[in-house]
Amino acid sequence: MLCRFASARRSSAKLVAPLGCLVSRQKHTLPDLPYDYAALEPHINAEIMQLHHSKHHAAYVNNLNVAEEKYKEALAKGDVTTQVSLQPALKFNGGGHINHTIFWTNLSPNGGGEPKGELMEAIKRDFGSFANFKEKLTALSVGVQGSGWGWLGYNKEQGRLQIAACANQDPLQGTTGLIPLLGIDVWEHAYYLQYKNVRPDYLKAIWNVINWENVSSRYATCKK
């Protein structure tokens, strides 16, 4: 199972959906960070941020563009076999681009603390308390085997918050249907240079830079 809900609810794996009209599409680009590489220190150091953004995220963007170009050619030729064979690359690199684009905005040098307003009320309703939510998402993220992400998402059908763990770069919404609000990257490239293999220390630190304004804004948008 590539992506699982913390509530143990299971969903079947899906192929990446067709990417629309690829003939006239514009290439994906690496988004600028809304802060300097050193802005999240001491919690996440500048070297990690620079490599993570300018190398790892950039690689997902570049590889996604290559895969989409090949998909466009296969689509024009009616080559279904090649279209199917490109699905893993589209999912991995497309997911990597989606996930990291969310991740950068989920962080802020002015972050930390606790959310306010409707988001806080929803967290209390669905998890009992903020402390309980934080503990559950931390434990879920620590427990990701290998590489992946821990997420807070919104279940639009049920009108409630849920946490989920996704393997590799599986995008939350594309594989579970949950709308992503907060993502925590637990690939080693997100923390190894500073925290070595001690993932729990990284997860303890990252709460100090969570941008609750951004998470709250995502929550308000997805409820509309």
In the structure encoding, which two tokens stand for residue 210, read together?
Answer: 């969570």
Label residue 24 by pLDDT band (50, 70, 90).
low
Domain count across the chain: 2
Interatomic CA distance for residues 113 and 214, integer angstroms: 13
Whether 18 maps to a domain, the answer reads no
Tell whether 92 is covered by a domain.
Answer: yes
Banded model confidence at residue 212, pLDDT cuts 50, 70, 90 = very high
pLDDT at residue 77 is higher than 90: yes
pLDDT at 31 over 50: yes
Quick check: 1 pLDDT over 60? Answer: no
Mean pLDDT over residues 64-91, rounded? 97
Cα distance between residue 12 and residue 46, in whole Å: 39
Q: What is the CATH number of the domain that holds 58?
A: 1.10.287.990
Per-residue pLDDT band for 224 (boundaries 50, 70, 90) equals confident
Q: Are residues 56 and 83 in the same domain?
A: yes
Position 149 pLDDT exceeds 60: yes
pLDDT at residue 195 above 50?
Answer: yes
What's the chain's Rg over C-alpha atoms?
Answer: 18
| Domain span at 102 | 46-106
Q: Is residue 55 part of a domain?
A: yes
pLDDT in tens, 97-110: 999 999 999 999 99
